[in-house]
Amino acid sequence: MTTPVRRIRVAWIVGAAFLIFTAIPAAVGFVTDWFWFQEVGYQTVFTTQLATKVSLFLAVALVAYFFLALNARIAGRGSSRAPVLWRMSPELPPVDVAAGLTRLAAPIVVVLALMFGLAAGGDWMDVLQFMNRSAFGLADPVFGRDVGHYVFALPAIASLIGTLRGLVIVALLLSLGLHLIRGRVTLPPQRVGLEPPADKHIASLLVTFLILTALQIWFVRMPGLLYSTTGPLIGASYADLNARYPALHLIAATALIGVALIIYGMLRRKIVWFTLISAGAYVAVTVVAGGLYPWAIQRFVVAPTELTRESTQLLSHIRATRTAWGLDKVETRDLSGDARLTLQDVRANAPTIENVRLWDRDPLRQTFGQLQEIRTYYDFVSVDDDRYLIDGRYRQVMLSPRELNPESLPTRTFINQHLTFTHGMGLTLAPVNEVTSEGLPVLFIKDLPPVSSVSLKVTRPQIYFGELTDEHVFVNTRRAEFDYPSGDANITTRYNGSGGVRVGSFFKRGLFAMRFGALNILLSGDINSDSRVLYNRDIMRRARLALPFLTFDEDPYMVVADNGELKWILDGYTSTSRYPYSARLSDGTNYMRNSVKVVVDAYNGAVTAFIVDAADPLARTYAKIFPGTLKPLSEMPSDIRTHMRYPNDLFRVQTALYATFHMDAADAFYHREDQWQTPVVDAKSENQSQFLRHIVMRLPDEQQAEFIFMAPFTPKGKDNLASWMVARNDGANYGKLRVYRFPKQSLVYGPRQITSRIDQDTDIARELTLWDQRGSEVIRGELLVIPIEKSLIYVQPIYLRAEGGRIPELKRVVVAYQNRVVMAETLEAGLAQVFGGEVGRSAQRDSAVAGAVPVAPTDTSAAVTKASGGVGSTLAAEARAHYDRAIAAQRSGDWAAYGREIRELGEVLRQLSGGASR
């Protein structure tokens, strides 16, 4: 076979492989992605992103090609001084390597140009942000530029200069190689030099590179000082402003002096030596002025008097961080720290007490799983807090969607996974504080299909889009979809929504078969042209594809609309790592706003984004880039708007930062003299945010109970409570942050101290130990910090799980206030013991365990004495008998008898007290 024929066949094989493994899959993905963006109505995002990437690719690739080709042509024209011959074997004639390498320059230029174009396409968002930038209305404290310059313009400028410098470096290397091949570069042992026309060519590239370097220093590196980490802050420090900043001017000037030296060397035919002089001077100035001098200033001038030198910069750092993270608008309220609660205060805050969350998420999810999954292929992924107006009462509830888990299907066939089992079904919803007599949660919405015992109803329970729906499914096929089990039968349904892409023609069907790698899509007789394919069904992935400029909170949550439909709400963040002087997270983020709420329909998959914070410059910029994508908050349905929650991830970051940045004085911030922390009860616990909770409560000095997100603080390294922060969620107060501070001189018990008091209570320890000894597992719930008026109470649920069982049951509630700790069967009984009067500890617990009315505040022994004789003596003996039987029942573990005897004991004691008062 001749060599030309062999080359043609190899080319065909390579081309076919490229089409099969790269070009065709990419084209299929592109077309089916376009179908999906049409379905969700976000064609603007798709076309804008595509047009910008293609335009950048073409523009940069063409510029790179012409620039590199021009330099290759200049370096390659003319004849070489002598051919470079290489003989592969004695039988073959010698080959001119120089000529061969010169011919390779053309394809190398094409490949390099394509690489530059592809790299530029990745900067599409930076370019769009620059073209549609919005002003922040705030100036940086050093250069006086609007913050928008650093967020929107600086990245584009840095990319432009970086691309140009990269082009010049590549052109320089390519040209040197070609000149070397053609013998225009002399190397040792001869005198190092460049011969015409190489000297002028290389000199022009070196001059261009040095000019671009000076521009980069002035327009990129100098503004970059505002992100410096030198000193005790993020941002330009004293050494940066007084040493590194002047040094950068000197380094840029050195680069321009190098330009003059190279031009002079070119004229004198000594370009190599003057280039070396320029490079040596640049390196020396960079090391001495840009490195050693700032280090000496930091070490010998700043470090000995750091606070004095850095005070101004520290204030800039504090102000920028508070503004960038929304902490500058935190309201503060001072509490006396010595306020005492009474039973009347507790009763006046009935909405708070009625909504104390006695069910922790994990035990409740386990209970939901055992009681309400119904079938093994259903799963409760998470449990979320929310609030609803139920039967006329403002109630905090916990709910969990019942999603279909394809991994748990008994038979994972194509028909089962993609045609029959297509959706989850309904949800389970329970109030946070109600318990059945068996210690299980009261379920407002339960079973399949969902049945509601309250005014809140679910009318369309199917969940086609959720957190577990990561596989594609086909609906409206000839095969009925499984809806829910009913006894031994299965109820089927047919999809009536607008979600998904219509299958249509055979060609379109073939595209989906290639996308999903499933030949059955083509072969199945159940799929027809009217069928619809639902893909990208995972709500997080769906939102990220539709809105690629946002990041999302990791905790999406479901709400029940007024019409009974199920919707998902996702919190979308606008963020950047380019806010000057602001503290940053581990991923570099130093500015964040929850500016967008995204609503995803669980049935149709419709994605609707609403701007919550219209003042956010990033949100305004994105709205200009993608017109019509972000809708005003006024268009959000009111029944969905009432369920907006302050986002978890943002509040967690804000509380962590506020623990330090509530100190706005430079000296206090520097010394960390009033630093806080979120409470830590168990250092080994994986949940370091266990005290961040949603609560329905009436804030101090407010008139109405509201749904808030709360976090307590303790002083750094101490256990007493210092303050607590709330994020408000309801109505016009949505998004407002408020901090309530206790006086530094007051002692308010913190969670760790309360936990220690509970552990040290002998009565509580004895009962918990008794349960453990009988083979049951005692699960201590999360300690709840409940603000009431201007004070606090602590509540901790106690769950019991039988040996070998999987269902935690709520059996006791611990209530703590100041020095008093009690454990009762119900929260109300525990509160009655704590605030009902001066009663002995055992009597308090006995009354509460039985769930009886609180014992009146009196001295029982005195009552017995005054009532001695006659009926009083009889009642005293009867009380003693009930008490003895209760103790015996407790020891035997007969809790039913124990409760009955304690109730009767309470009744006898009330009779005794009444006789004594008379």
Question: What is the pLDDT, as a whole number, of residue 105?
Answer: 82
Three-state SS annotation for 630-689:
EEEHHHCCHHHHCCCCCCHHHHHHHHHHHHHHCCCCHHHHHHCCCCEECCCCCCCCCCCC
pTM score over 0.95: no
Angle at 318 between CA 315 and CA 324, to 5 degrees: 135
Q: Which residues pair with 402 in a beta bridge?
A: 380
- Cβ-based neighbour number of residue 830 at 10 Å: 26
Task: Give SS3 for 840.
Answer: coil
List Cβ neighbours of 841 (8 Å cut-off, separation of 6 or more): 763, 822
**CA 736 and chain centroid, separation:** 20
Provide the mean pLDDT of the chain: 87
φ and ψ of 403, to 5 deg: -100, 155
Question: What is the pLDDT, as a whole number, of residue 60?
Answer: 97
Q: Which token pair is 373?
A: 């999954």
Spatial contact of 63 and 48, defined as CB atoms under 8 Å apart: no
Strand pairing of 462-463 and 424-425?
Answer: antiparallel
pLDDT bracket for residue 81 (50, 70, 90): low
Q: Which token pair is 891?
A: 């020891």
Q: Which residues pair with 571 in a beta bridge?
A: 597
Peptide bond into 632 cis (omega under 30): no
Spatial contact of 388 and 560, defined as CB atoms under 8 Å apart: yes
Cα–Cα distance measured from residue 125 to residue 428, given in angstroms and rounded to the nearest whole number = 42
Q: Which amino acid is at 150?
A: Y
Question: What is the pLDDT, as a whole number, of residue 785?
Answer: 92
Angle at 694 between CA 691 and CA 699, to 5 degrees: 100
Output the CA–CA distances (angstroms, integers) from residue 602 to 469, 539, 639, in the order listed. Answer: 11, 9, 16
Q: Which residues pair with 439 in a beta bridge?
A: none
φ and ψ of 269, to 5 deg: 65, 30
Location of structure tokens 């691309």: 163
Closest-CA residue to 82 (of 168, 180, 1, 225):
180
**CA 672 and chain centroid, separation:** 28
Please tell me the least confidently modeled range out of 212-216, 330-334, 449-453, 763-767: 763-767
Spatial contact of 715 and 697, defined as CB atoms under 8 Å apart: no
Closest-CA residue to 772 (of 737, 800, 748):
800
Peptide bond into 449 cis (omega under 30): yes
Cα–Cα distance measured from residue 766 to residue 762, given in angstroms and rounded to the nearest whole number = 6
How far apart are the two ends of the chain, measured CA to CA in Å? 124
Q: Which token pair is 189?
A: 């042992």
Q: Which amino acid is at 331?
A: E
DSSP symbol at 305: G
Q: DSSP H helical segments within 681-761, as ranges?
A: 751-760
Mean pLDDT of 284-297: 96
φ and ψ of 728, to 5 deg: -90, 145
Strand pairing of 607-611 and 630-632?
Answer: parallel
What is the chain's Cα-based Rg?
A: 37
Location of structure tokens 């706003």: 593
Location of structure tokens 């409560």: 697
- Residue 79 pLDDT > 70: no
Three-state SS annotation for 72-132:
HHHHHCCCCCCCCEECCCCCCCCEEHHHHHHHHHHHHHHHHHHHHHHHHHCCHHHHHHHHC
Question: What is the pLDDT, as a whole number, of residue 843?
Answer: 34
Q: Which amino acid is at 658?
A: Y
Task: Give SS3 for 796.
Answer: strand
Question: What is the pLDDT, as a whole number, of residue 840?
Answer: 30
Question: What is the pLDDT, as a whole number, of residue 890?
Answer: 55
Output the CA–CA distances (angstroms, integers) from residue 714 to 333, 339, 760, 772, 786, in the order listed. Answer: 16, 19, 22, 32, 15
Cα–Cα distance measured from residue 533 to residue 71, given in angstroms and rounded to the nearest whole number = 53
Question: What is the pLDDT, as a whole number, of residue 221?
Answer: 96
Q: Which amino acid is at 84?
A: V
Question: What is the pLDDT, as a whole number, of residue 178?
Answer: 84
Cα–Cα distance measured from residue 692 to residue 596, given in angstroms and rounded to the nearest whole number = 22
Cα–Cα distance measured from residue 542 to residue 465, given in angstroms and rounded to the nearest whole number = 9
Question: What is the pLDDT, as a whole number, of residue 94?
Answer: 59
Closest-CA residue to 824 (of 856, 863, 855, 785):
855
List Cβ neighbours of 764 (8 Å cut-off, separation of 6 or more): 758, 814, 821, 823
- Residue 325 pLDDT > 70: yes
Closest-CA residue to 544 (of 576, 571, 517):
571
Instruction: Name the packing angle between helices 124-131 and 617-625 (round to 10°).
Output: 100
Spatial contact of 443 and 372, defined as CB atoms under 8 Å apart: yes
- Residue 552 pLDDT > 60: yes
Spatial contact of 312 and 669, defined as CB atoms under 8 Å apart: no
Please tell me the least confidently modeled range out of 40-44, 528-532, 738-742, 773-777: 773-777
**CA 294 and chain centroid, separation:** 38
Question: What is the pLDDT, as a whole number, of residue 880?
Answer: 72
Q: Which amino acid is at 805?
A: G
Please tell me the least confidently modeled range out of 194-203, 233-242, 354-363: 194-203
Question: What is the pLDDT, as a whole number, of residue 665?
Answer: 94
- Residue 70 pLDDT > 80: yes
Three-state SS annotation for 385-410:
EEEEEECCEEEEEEEEEEEECHHHCC
Spatial contact of 603 and 574, defined as CB atoms under 8 Å apart: no
φ and ψ of 454, to 5 deg: -130, -175
Question: What is the pLDDT, as a whole number, of residue 74?
Answer: 87
Question: What is the pLDDT, as a whole number, of residue 162?
Answer: 96
Question: What is the pLDDT, as a whole number, of residue 187?
Answer: 65
Task: Give SS3 for 518.
Answer: coil
Question: What is the pLDDT, as a whole number, of residue 839?
Answer: 28
Residue pLDDT, tens place only, 112-152 = 999 999 999 999 999 999 999 999 999 999 999 999 999 99
219 or 347, which is more confident?
A: 219
> What percent of the chain has pLDDT above 70?
86
> What percent of the chain has pLDDT above 90?
66
Q: Which amino acid is at 55?
A: S
Q: Which residues pair with 254 in a beta bridge?
A: none
- Residue 879 pLDDT > 80: no
- Residue 17 pLDDT > 50: yes
Peptide bond into 197 cis (omega under 30): yes
- Residue 515 pLDDT > 70: yes
Q: Which residues pair with 685 in a beta bridge?
A: none
